[in-house]
Each structure stands twice: as structure tokens, then as C-alpha cells.
Structure 1
Amino acid sequence: MPASIKPKYRILTATELQQLEQEFIYFLASQSISVEEWLDYKRNQPNKVEEMIVRFSDFILSSTYQKCRLVEEVTSNGWIFYHFDDDQKEIRLVGITLDGSAAIDFRQVDRATLLNLLDAAPEGTLRVIQARKPQMADKVHEVDQMLKRGAFLSQDLTLFNQLEALASSL
């Protein structure tokens, strides 16, 4: 790929591109690229094809990250939710972390049993954490940075709300 064509975030995978085929067709049309032109690019201008895929990837990911409400981060020692409150321009964090020497690896914990861990774990080994912080001016960049360190987009507001209620009651 030429040095001048770098994605802002990442290039969509082949599977993602297949799933977004119709959106890609609309994207090409919005760029005034006809079917004939696209076929010509594919045959004769691979750099142009790569450029369009990078631009489409940037468009899709930017839009997705901007709409994101919830990010989860699961590590060996914790399960953290980050809720983006765009109205308040803040991120509400809630999660469960190790607070001691429990032999728990959260990466091996099923989400359905996450809350049960608090009851099952020995006293003082787990804690519920809660915090708030201002959202960065560039939310898209902030979400991208979280994903690059291993977090993932989530829609499980039910589990987030249960953890937040639990944290508030402690």
C-alpha cells in the first residue's frame, strides 16, 4: 500500500467488507464511481482499489465509533464497562476487579455468571469499581484507542446497569 494511503483506524477485514457489500456499493456511488469504473480499478489500478477500501473503512469505523455507547474490557484481573454519555460528555466506568489473591481469570468467566462471582468469591478478593471521567473531545479516537488495547464494542447495557446499581448500593 502506498505511504500516502494510511487508514485513520484500521482496514476492514475481508469478512467485514463482505458483510458491508451493499454499503460499499452506496459509498462508491457517493464518490461518483460507476460499476464500470470500479471494475476498471480492480483490473488496472490496484492502488485506487486500496485507497477506496481505506476510505470506506475510515468512513464506517468513524461512524460506528461515534455512535458507540458501551465498550467492554476484559483482562485477566478485571471486567470493566465504559459507558459513553454523549449528552453529559463523560464516560461512566463500572466493573469488577481482583482485590487480593483470588485465582480468577476474568477472560475465562462467562458473562452470564459474572455477577455471581461476587457472591461466590472469598471475602476481600473482588471489588466493584465505579468512576466517571470527561469524554475526550475526539470520541472516535478515544474509542479507537480502547479497542487497540483489547477492549470491544458492546451493547450489553443490562449487565452494565446491574453492575452500576450494585456499585451504587455499596
Structure 2
Amino acid sequence: MKKYRVLTKTELKKLKDEFIEFLSVQTITADDWKKIKEEEPEKADEIIAWFSEVMYEQWMRKIHFAVKFDPQSITAFRFSASNMVLVSLKAESNQINFTEMALSDLSKEDIKKLKVFTSTKNYEKSREEEIFQLIERGCVPDDGSYFKKLLQLLPN
């Protein structure tokens, strides 16, 4: 059962070296690959889908934080082995646009007007699948700085 989407042709082109290495590990030579693509396109698609699964799994394992910006909110995630924690700021009015400003630009008055929300959720699917779904919905991997900054804004 597939957990991730198949890489696009553009994405595959960028991963040419990794794909060649993947084929090599599967003992598929360049000539074999050419023949498979010409004579067994369904098998070629299966190999690309398998490669996609392997690559996404590797990438998702490396992600420990992610962030998502909307004009009226910013949400940061921390991914542990068993659950994810989110911290979110939501503006009640259109006076703040998180896509156009840095968190450090928030004044104390701005912060008082924000709703701060936290939540912890156990994974319903695998950790990697849930991270992938968030990324597909617009989250971007982060080094944890947004998560830590948002935590500092929580009321004591």
C-alpha cells in the first residue's frame, strides 16, 4: 500500500543520481532500465513508485519540525516518535498578516490580541505519513526556531 505520491518527472530529474543508485542496488543496469521503460511501462511505473516511497520515507524521517503560515495564523509543529505537538498563533483581525512579517516584529500589544493555541496529538498513521500529509497541505520543514519562538509566547 502506497503511503506517498509518486514523484513528478521534474522531481525525478532532480534526483537522477539517487535514482541511478537505486536502480543499481536493485541490479538494474542502464540497458535494463531502457528495456523496461520501452517494453514494460507498467513495471517502470512500479519501480518509480517504489523509488518515490523510499525517498519520501527517508526525507520524512529527517523532519523534526515544520511550520505553516497563513495571513491570519502561524502554526509550528514538533514531531517526536509517538506524537506531534503544535503551537499556533491566530489573529482575530486583519491587522496582522503573518505571511508579510517576522515574529520578532510583533509588539506586546499585537501579542495581546492573538489567540495562542497548543495541542498534542498521537499519530493515527505512521509518523512519516502524517508529516507528509502536512507538507502536502502547505507546511514547510523548519529547524525548530518557529516552534521555540511560539512556545515563548505562551502565557505562563
State the TM-score, normalized to the length of structure 1: 0.76
Paired AA for residue 164 in structure 1: L
When the two chains are superposed, the root-mean-square deviation of aligned CA atoms in Å is 2.4
**Residue type of the alignment partner of 2:143:** D
**Letter in structure 1 aligned against 2:84:** I
Report the alpha carbon displacement of residue 123 of structure 1 after superposing the two structures with TM. Answer: 4.5
- The residue identity in structure 1 corresponding to 2:116 is V
| d(CA) in 1 for partners of 2:38, 2:73 | 49
Specify the alignment match of 1:109 in structure 2: 100
* Consecutive unaligned residues in structure 1, runs of 5 or more: 1-5
CA distance in 1, matches of 2:45, 2:132: 21
Instruction: Please name the residue that 2:139 is paired with.
Output: 152
> TM-score, with normalisation over the residues of structure 2?
0.82
**1:105: how far off?**
4.0
CA 1:122/1:138 → structure 2, altered by over 3 Å: closer, same or farther?
closer
Aligned identity (percent) is: 27
Q: Of the candidates 31, 45, 64, which is equivalent to residue 36 of structure 1?
A: 31
Alpha-carbon distance in 2 for matches of 1:84, 1:118: 29
Match of 1:62 in 2: 57
Q: Greater relative contact order: 1 or 2 (C-alpha under 8 angstroms, separation 6 or more)?
A: 2
Q: How does 1:11-160 map to 2 (within 5 A)?
A: 11-86=6-81, 89-98=82-91, 100-106=92-98, 108-110=99-101, 113-119=102-108, 121=110, 123-124=112-113, 126-136=114-124, 138-148=126-136, 150-160=137-147
Given that residues 72 and 154 in structure 1 are in contact (C-alpha distance below 8 angstroms), is that contact kept between their aligned partners in structure 2? yes
C-alpha distance in structure 2 between counterparts of 1:115 and 1:128, whole Å: 16
Question: CA, structure 1 residues 123+67, in 2 after alignment: closer, same or farther (shift >3 Å)?
Answer: closer
- SS of the aligned residue for 1:81 comes to strand
Question: How many residues are treated as equivalent by the alignment?
Answer: 156
Once the two structures are TM-superposed, the CA of residue 128 in structure 1 deviates from its matched residue by 2.7
| Unmatched runs of 5 consecutive residues or more in structure 2 | none
